[in-house]
């Protein structure tokens, strides 16, 4: 099931609400009404109605206006974090009590071993063990947030660019920290020159600095776009039902929606894996620079 199943159940209410939003030529803007179900909002949608969330006045800090109001995506982000902590404690206890974990604990252990062996160790070598806890937290946290949108009245926090930007910022810190730890602060800054003549440093240094930020930017946009894509497609297909107002036409979009919902279940796992794999790969590249420098010095 999917949060967008809520859209179908709420079709009559949607039609009444859409009547208040009429296009310039008198046409009801159904798509605009449907899209609000996949956007962030200051309320939570429940079977019993909407629950208003606490809203605060923006805070001015250094000329910037920061809004600390609680929204739907924030609630589900907190819920994913709490659920991750709970599941980690439960699984850890079962693993320590059983020689060979079974059931849900066995599945989680298999996923954790895969992240350790096929992501951390594969991209960073033996040094990857040190960063495995971070990679495991990243993988399961993103996976849970992705899965939150696959239940009725749920929301996918990773479809919010602010959430993916926060994850990318943490990844950026980890990428640079692992590189500095492996290379040393001196070689890390020397690498920004690209190894070229000092006369080319004014050109090379800005390019290298931009390159440092393009990696987390790609992580941010990739996760945000992929988690929004499926929702937008589902909303568009459901909108065709209201647009044509025909039971015959409704059969095809409804069938496609079911298929896309199952596809999004696969995408939820895939995007968590890709974000974790790319983060580990970027960390491994920084460590490889240190090994390359060491071999060059020996030669």
Q: Does residue 292 carry a pLDDT above 60?
A: no
Q: What are the tokens at 108?
A: 């989680």
The whole-chain average pLDDT of the chain stands at 82
Higher per-residue pLDDT: 240 or 177: 177
Whose CA is closest to 216, among 152, 138, 156, 151? 138
Q: Say whether pLDDT at 35 is over 70.
A: no
What single-letter DSSP state applies at residue 22? B
pLDDT at 18 over 60: no
What's the gap between Cα 81 and its chain centre? Answer: 13
pLDDT at 298: 46
pLDDT band at 140 (very low <50, low <70, confident <90, very high): very high
Give me the percent of the chain exceeding a pLDDT of 90: 37
What pLDDT was estimated at residue 29? 56
Q: SS3 helix, strand, coil % of the chain, rounded to 5?
A: 75, 5, 20
pTM (predicted TM-score): 0.82
Scored b (16 or more CB within 10 A) or e, 37-75 reads: bbeeeeebbeeeeeeeeeeeeeeeeeeeeeeeeebbbbb
Q: pLDDT tens digit string along 102-127?
A: 788 888 989 999 999 999 999 998 99
pLDDT at 191 (0 to 100): 80
Is pLDDT at 137 greater than 90 in this prediction? Answer: yes
Position 8 scores a pLDDT of: 42
pLDDT of 141 over the 80 cut:
yes
Q: Given a cut of 50, is residue 54 above it in pLDDT? A: yes
Range of the domain at 242: 5-298
The residue-averaged pLDDT of 264-278 equals 93
Q: 112: Cβ–Cβ under 8 A, 6 or more apart, which residues?
A: 136
Token representation of residue 253: 């979009």
Alpha-carbon distances of 48 from 7, 45, 149, rounded to whole Å: 15, 8, 19
pLDDT band at 10 (very low <50, low <70, confident <90, very high): very low
Contacts of 15 (CB under 8 A, 6+ apart): 28, 30, 242
The dihedral of CA 28, 32, 37, 40: what is its sign? negative
Of 94-108, 142-156, 204-218, 270-284, where does the model show the most confidence?
Answer: 270-284
Using a pLDDT cut of 70, give the percent of the chain over it.
84
Q: Provide the number of structural domains found in the chain.
A: 1
How confident is the model at residue 271, as a pLDDT? 94
Q: What is the 3-state secondary structure of 116-183?
A: HHHHHHHHHHHHHHHHHHHHHHHHHHHHHHHHHCCCCCCCCHHHCHHHHHHHHHHHHHHHHHHHHHHH
Q: Which two structure tokens, joined as six digits, stand for 105?
A: 């604990």
Contact 265, 298 (CB under 8 A): no
């Amino acid at each position: 099931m999917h949060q967008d199943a809520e859209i179908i159940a709420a079709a009559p209410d949607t039609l009444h609400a859409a009547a208040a939003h009429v296009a310039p030529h008198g046409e009801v803007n159904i798509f605009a009404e449907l899209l609000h179900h996949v956007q962030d909002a200051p309320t939570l949608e429940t079977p019993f109605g909407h629950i208003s969330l606490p809203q605060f006045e923006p805070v001015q800090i250094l000329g910037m206006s920061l809004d600390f109001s609680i929204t739907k995506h924030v609630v589900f982000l907190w819920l994913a974090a709490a659920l991750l902590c709970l599941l980690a404690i439960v699984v850890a206890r079962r693993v320590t009590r059983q020689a060979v974990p079974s059931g849900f604990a066995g599945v989680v252990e298999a996923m954790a071993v895969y992240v350790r062996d096929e992501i951390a160790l594969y991209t960073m070598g033996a040094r990857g063990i040190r960063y495995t806890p971070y990679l495991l937290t990243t993988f399961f946290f993103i996976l849970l947030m992705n899965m939150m949108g696959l239940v009725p009245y749920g929301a996918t926090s990773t479809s919010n660019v602010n959430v993916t930007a926060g994850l990318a910022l943490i990844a950026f810190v980890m990428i640079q920290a692992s590189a500095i730890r492996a290379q040393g602060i001196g070689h890390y800054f020397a690498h920004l020159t690209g190894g070229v003549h000092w006369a080319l440093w004014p050109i090379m240094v800005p390019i290298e600095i931009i390159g440092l930020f393009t990696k987390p930017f790609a992580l941010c946009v990739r996760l945000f776009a992929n988690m929004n894509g499926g929702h937008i497609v589902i909303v568009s297909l459901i909108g065709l039902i209201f647009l044509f107002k025909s039971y015959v036409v409704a059969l095809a979009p409804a069938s496609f929606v079911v298929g896309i919902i199952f596809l999004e279940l696969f995408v939820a796992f895939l995007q968590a894996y890709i974000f974790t794999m790319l983060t580990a790969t970027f960390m491994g590249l920084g460590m490889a620079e240190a090994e390359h420098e060491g071999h060059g010095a020996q030669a």
